[in-house]
Structure 1
Amino acid sequence: MSKVSRRESTRLRHARIRRRVSGTPERPRLAVFKSNQHIYVQLIDDVAQTTIAAASTVEPELKEKIESGANCAAAAEVGRLIADRAKAKGIEQVVFDRGGNLYHGRVQTLADAAREAGLNF
């Protein structure tokens, strides 16, 4: 029996999720990528293959507010920021793509903050 690494498990989960989840112009995909030091999120229209909006902890306006990009407080700030940018573009409904990560910790905090800021998913 072969062992599967954590990275490979994440990749397999992401592939399984992406088979079912796709973004449209009316309801784009809210894609989350999490590294050890930062968290990134994009609104993606898979039909036109374009990114509508993006936010991350590496942006200068967020770096001033947060002390670390790798905690739940930073993820909540990114969630609020992407929700504000989506509403500015007239988007209320999204499809959540957790990127193969477990719905726990930073990913869950980002999703909850985006919901509180007005996104529906």
Structure 2
Amino acid sequence: MYQRPDRREARLRRHVRLRAKVSGTSERPRLSVFRSLHHIYAQIIDDTKGLTLVAASTVDPELRKQCNGNGGNIEAAKAVGAAIAQKALEKGIQKVVFDRGGQIYHGRVKALASSAREGGLEF
């Protein structure tokens, strides 16, 4: 009998494969993106120290107001991308490595990445 593949397991498998190649250093930290059904989260992480340097998401109160409570659309992803870029530049971070988290580079993930690039991040 055919068993439908589990989408979550497939994403985690892709994420593990991606993380084997991508890691953040103190000179070039990792911009990690997680997308849920209702929200989108972005973190800039230094993997050598195991520290999150900067974070932004649609759960944050100031971004929630911009998104009108709906964090699961492309406009919300653009707002998170701009916010993470602004916070990173304030901390002196310009170059990052992009980690799409096993997601397809399309839609909200692509919108966040392009907005972060427009905000001044290089990747």
Q: 1:70 aligns with which of 69, 72, 92?
A: 72
Aligned position for 1:92: 94
TM-score by length of 2: 0.95
Distance, in Å, in 2 between the alignment partners of 1:10 and 1:2 is 17
Distance, in Å, in 1 between the alignment partners of 2:71 and 2:89 is 24
Deviation at 1:5, TM superposition (A): 1.0
RMSD: 1.0
Distance, in Å, in 1 between the alignment partners of 2:3 and 2:14 is 17
Distance, in Å, in 2 between the alignment partners of 1:3 and 1:19 is 27
Q: SS state of the match for residue 20, structure 1?
A: coil
1:41 is aligned with what amino acid? A
Deviations 1:65-115 (A, max 9, x none): 112100000000000000000000101100000000000000000000000
Distance, in Å, in 2 between the alignment partners of 1:42 and 1:65 is 19
Calculate percent identity across the aligned residue pairs: 55
Q: Which runs of 4+ in 1 moved over 3 A?
A: none
Q: SS state of the match for residue 64, structure 1?
A: helix
Distance, in Å, in 2 between the alignment partners of 1:46 and 1:65 is 31
1:12-27 paired onto structure 2 within 5 Å: 12-27=13-28
TM-score by length of 1: 0.97
1:14 is aligned with what amino acid? H
Structure 1: gaps (5+ residues):
none
Deviations 1:15-54 (A, max 9, x none): 0000000001110000001100000000000000000000
Deviation at 1:3, TM superposition (A): 4.3
Aligned position for 1:108: 110
Deviation at 1:4, TM superposition (A): 2.4
1:97 is aligned with what amino acid? D
